[in-house]
């Protein structure tokens, strides 16, 4: 059997924190990695060269949104998402399952798949494991995700088990439909809500099927950080050491730091750009709301030590003004600053694991956030 051209290497450990690298035909992905979310073929409010310059090795594309607009077949005719969106490095695509559950109208789940109406125009669609694999192939993603059912929280143990077992059957179908492409990878998704024995059944079932990586899904859906971390405490050790581990849809810088400490390698979240569009920026001093009146006459930048021009070269007073005047540039600058901060955080995490000082980095980062932003004199 021809070996896969997407290969994960575990380079170092510090406690449970892992330093690694995923080699792909489109370049390496340094882990722990944060993947900026390019929902509809764009990381909102940023140019792709800004995303790359900030330090991102990989972005995420959304199957649900892209299948509805512009359409998977159209994307394929136009050369795939890499060419279409101007991003030539790796792309991971989710399966569309979460958005079907959270956004679509009149959805109906059967063994075959999920039938739903588009939230955009009401058109009817059937998403099956096989169709999800086909769409992701047409998009041209480097890492595909199996189709799964993500239940809301709270949920009963009975409903969580039903969805988990359906997701396992869909995962097996996804694996068959995926085939054996040499230049793409397929990740399985562990489900089971916050029920330990269900997570164990899911993880073992996925390992038995065999995937290139394993994601922890069904978290960050309202259960709270404590329950999320408790679930990671027992789920992560169930996953193979020699495969990347991906926590889907997470999260805040604090969530990421604590999940890395529990052995997670990959993250994605809309939070950096969504927060930036609403005036919230993440810094080594913790989050700052630039709309607050105290910034109106503050000539300081957000952080003079940041490598990102949006954070180091524009005054808080100017950024505050942009939001008060509802100028689009404000949203662009804060989104840029947030993506850069997330990448700086990941770079710091990777360096600390390599040097065997992750525990110190963890404590120093938490202390910086706890001290908070110092008001202008």
Known catalytic residues are 94, 268
Residue 322: CB partners within 8 Å, gap ≥ 6?
329, 330, 333
Residue 301: CB partners within 8 Å, gap ≥ 6?
311, 312, 313, 314, 315, 316
- In degrees, rounded to 5, the angle at the alpha carbon of residue 170 between the alpha carbons of residues 90 and 229 is 65
**Residue 302 and residue 246: Cα distance in Å, rounded?**
31
**What would you report as the CA-atom Rg of the chain, rounded to the nearest whole angstrom?**
21
Alpha helix segments (H runs only) across 149-302 = 157-178, 196-209, 225-235, 253-260, 271-277
Best CA proximity match to 266, nearest among 8, 10, 34: 34
**Three-state DSSP state, 185:** strand
Residue 223: CB partners within 8 Å, gap ≥ 6?
153, 154, 193, 194, 231
Strand ranges inside 277-327, DSSP E: 280-283, 286-289
Residue 275: CB partners within 8 Å, gap ≥ 6?
281, 282, 287, 334, 338
The residue behind tokens 């955009």 is 120
**Phi and psi at residue 353, to the nearest 5°:** -65, -40
**Residue 117 and residue 120: Cα distance in Å, rounded?**
9
**Three-state DSSP state, 349:** helix
**Residue 174 and residue 187: Cα distance in Å, rounded?**
10
Spatial contact of 335 and 343, defined as CB atoms under 8 Å apart: no
């Amino acid at each position: 059997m021809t070996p896969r051209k997407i290969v994960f290497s575990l380079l170092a450990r510090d406690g449970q924190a892992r330093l690694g690298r995923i080699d792909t035909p489109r370049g390496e992905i340094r882990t722990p990695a944060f993947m900026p979310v390019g929902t509809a073929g764009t990381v909102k409010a940023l140019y792709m060269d800004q995303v790359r310059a900030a330090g991102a090795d990989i972005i995420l594309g959304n199957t649900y949104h892209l299948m509805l607009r512009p359409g998977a077949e159209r994307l394929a005719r136009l050369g795939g998402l890499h060419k279409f969106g101007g991003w030539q490095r790796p792309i991971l695509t989710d399966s569309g399952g979460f958005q079907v559950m959270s956004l679509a109208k009149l959805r109906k789940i059967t063994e075959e798949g999920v039938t739903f109406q588009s939230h955009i125009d009401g058109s009817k669609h059937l998403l099956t494991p096989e169709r999800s694999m086909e769409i992701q192939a047409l998009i041209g993603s480097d890492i595909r995700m199996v189709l799964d059912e993500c239940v809301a929280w709270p949920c009963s143990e009975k409903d969580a088990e039903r969805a988990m077992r359906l997701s396992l059957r869909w995962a097996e179908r996804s694996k068959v439909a995926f085939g054996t492409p040499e230049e793409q990878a397929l990740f399985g998704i562990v489900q089971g809500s916050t029920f330990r024995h269900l997570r164990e059944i899911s993880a073992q079932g996925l390992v038995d099927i065999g995937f290139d990586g394993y994601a922890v899904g069904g978290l960050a859906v309202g259960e709270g950080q404590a329950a999320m971390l408790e679930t990671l405490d027992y789920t992560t050790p169930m996953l193979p050491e020699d495969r990347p581990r991906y926590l889907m849809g997470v999260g805040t810088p604090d969530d990421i730091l604590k999940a890395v400490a529990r052995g997670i390698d990959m993250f994605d979240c809309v939070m950096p750009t969504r927060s930036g569009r609403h005036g919230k920026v993440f810094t080594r001093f913790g989050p700052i709301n630039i709309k607050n009146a105290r910034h109106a006459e503050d000539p300081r930048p957000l952080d003079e030590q940041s490598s990102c021009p949006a954070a180091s070269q524009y005054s808080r007073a100017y950024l505050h003004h942009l939001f008060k005047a509802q100028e689009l540039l404000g949203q662009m600058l804060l989104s840029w600053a947030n993506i850069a901060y997330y990448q700086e955080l990941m770079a710091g995490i990777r360096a600390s694991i390599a040097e065997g000082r992750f525990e110190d980095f963890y404590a120093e980062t938490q202390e910086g956030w706890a001290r908070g932003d110092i008001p202008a004199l």
